[in-house]
Structure 1
Amino acid sequence: MMAPNRTGNVTRIDTVQVGFIGFGNMGRAMAEGLIRTEAISAGRLYACASDYQRLAERAESVGIRPRKDVASLVNSVDMIVVAVKPHVVEQVLVPVAKQLVGKPIISIAAGWSCADLERILPGTNHLSSMPNMPVAVNEGVIICEGEHTLTERQDKLARSVLSLLGSVEDVDSSLLAAAGTVSGCSPAFVAMMIEALGDAAVKHGVPREMAYRITSQTFAGTARLQLESGRHPAIMKDAVCSPGGSTIKGVSALEAAGIRSALIRAIDAIEA
């Protein structure tokens, strides 16, 4: 028997039940991050996906409750996270449009703005956002579109949930794609740089595990220093570069290789 439909009127983070429509890499990362905080227990997280057997194995291993279809998931929860591929958003959500009324919907589907969701789900309460993979360890960035249809209470609850996963940044609709691209794709670029610097360390005799460890911690520490100090990155770079020293020689080599333009071109290629 299907459970009674939850109304979506819950406003407290310690009682809210969250459902993931789609449970791929990003949906799972968000769920893992929420569980890590212990603010939302695994037993209050639900998920559905096209491959139920695989979903059940992944979800039940961490205590998340799998559901066989979207309708039963929507009935079970107070808040919905739309985590399916962008090209199937409409076919997944439209059949349950009436059930979604009154419940806060957080979309993490790339390319789906407030206007896009309103076109297929008029009269519902939704927020478009773009998280990145570090949400799994509560150090992510969640880009949220400034335009949304959540009520004031729903918006407060949604932000309480999302802020458990990292830094929540609001942007105008016109900047949603660009900001989401920088935050969403940069973890791959950073991972490439960690790998490359790790290889350089190994080349000069440092054990590989140690090479990755010190490189990753250097990235994390440098990022934390910039966030907490608010210093311009160029000032931080200059602080390490002594006249005629080793760091400025390395910086010169990176400039000659076009590191700045390469990173800018990476974003240009995605946004083209």
Structure 2
Amino acid sequence: MSSLTVGFIGYGNMAQAIAQGLVDAGVVRGNQIVACAGHFEKLQESTKSIGARALHSAAEVAAAADVVIVAVKPYLVEKLCKPIASELANDSTFVVSIAAGFTLERFAAFLPEQAHVVCTIPNTPIAVGQGVLVTESSDTLTDEQRELFHDLFHDIALIETVESSQLSIGGTIAGCGPAYAAMFIEALADAGVKHGLPRASAYRLAAKMVQGTGALNIASGTIPAAMKDAVCSPGGTTIKGVAELERHAFRGAVIDAIDAVEA
């Protein structure tokens, strides 16, 4: 890893989250990261905090990087990558796409057959080493590149491999979920404030509860229904709250939110 260069084509919020996560976890140093973006002065400011290097073009990133992370809006992917297709198809380089909706099949339409590509969808908690990287099961990486991909990301994200047809829904759950979870944290905190808790304390309690519940689920493999039942004593306080959530179609509302994104 000490000689690896990671390049970002596009350096928006998600790209910055990945870069921050990689540096904070000690996977790479800031000076091993290069990036380009539409507004160079803003890019210089964004890269300064971790010591990354701002470049002027996608071609410069492709020439400098061993791993090229395509982190632009989906409508820009072909426009930016097609002109540098030969550089991206270099044997010493592989591409990690984080563009929503982009699968290997779409890249195959404009990149040479020998290009090495893996398509993923990350989420923002990757910035603090608690992310998810939903990854398409089909890729064109070599075994060595696949191992490097794992080594690069496994310290900052759960790498969840899914079939190509499931990449969108997997990305929706992991990628949109932080917004819904944040709304839940905010609502719990508001309730705490309503009953007299200081807001900062209410936020910490709610956020840590969500973090811990997720960690317990991953560690134990217990289904969420069993975790809920373990907290719900007969006639107790928690089951009263659960019943109220059910009365307001809590689970149905969450499913409807996912359906709205996938429609």
TM-score by length of 1: 0.94
What is the CA distance between 1:61 and its match in structure 2?
2.6
Please give the alpha-carbon distance, in whole angstroms, between the structure 1 residues aligned to 2:262 and 2:152.
29
Please state if 1:78 is matched with 2:66: yes
Q: Which residue of 2 aligns with 1:199?
A: 190
TM-score by length of 2: 0.97
Please state if 1:213 is matched with 2:204: yes
Please state if 1:57 is matched with 2:79: no
The answer to whether the 8 Å contact 2:86/2:112 transfers is no
- Paired residue total: 260
Q: Which residue of 2 aligns with 1:45?
A: 33
Please give the alpha-carbon distance, in whole angstroms, between the structure 1 residues aligned to 2:147 and 2:236.
50
Q: Which residue of 1 aligns with 2:101?
A: 111
The answer to whether the 8 Å contact 1:114/1:126 transfers is yes
What is the CA distance between 1:84 and its match in structure 2?
0.5
Given the alignment, which residue of 167, 173, 195 partners 1:182? 173
Corresponding residue SS for 1:251 = helix
What is the CA distance between 1:39 and its match in structure 2?
2.1
**1:3-22 CA distance string (max 9 Å, x none):** xxxxxxxxxx2321100000
Q: Which residue of 2 aligns with 1:7?
A: none
Please state if 1:120 is matched with 2:99: no
Given the alignment, which residue of 218, 226, 230 partners 1:235? 226
1:2-21 aligned at under 5 Å gives the runs 13-21=1-9
Q: Which residue of 1 aligns with 2:129?
A: 138
Letter in 1 for 2:54: P
- Identical pairs, percent: 43
Please give the alpha-carbon distance, in whole angstroms, between the structure 2 residues aligned to 1:39 and 1:115.
30
What is the CA distance between 1:245 and its match in structure 2?
1.0
Corresponding residue SS for 1:62 = coil
Please give the alpha-carbon distance, in whole angstroms, between the structure 2 residues aligned to 1:164 and 1:237.
29
What is the CA distance between 1:63 and its match in structure 2?
0.3
What is the CA distance between 1:184 and its match in structure 2?
0.6
Q: Which runs of 4+ in 1 moved over 4 A?
A: none
Please state if 1:151 is matched with 2:139: no
The answer to whether the 8 Å contact 1:104/1:158 transfers is no
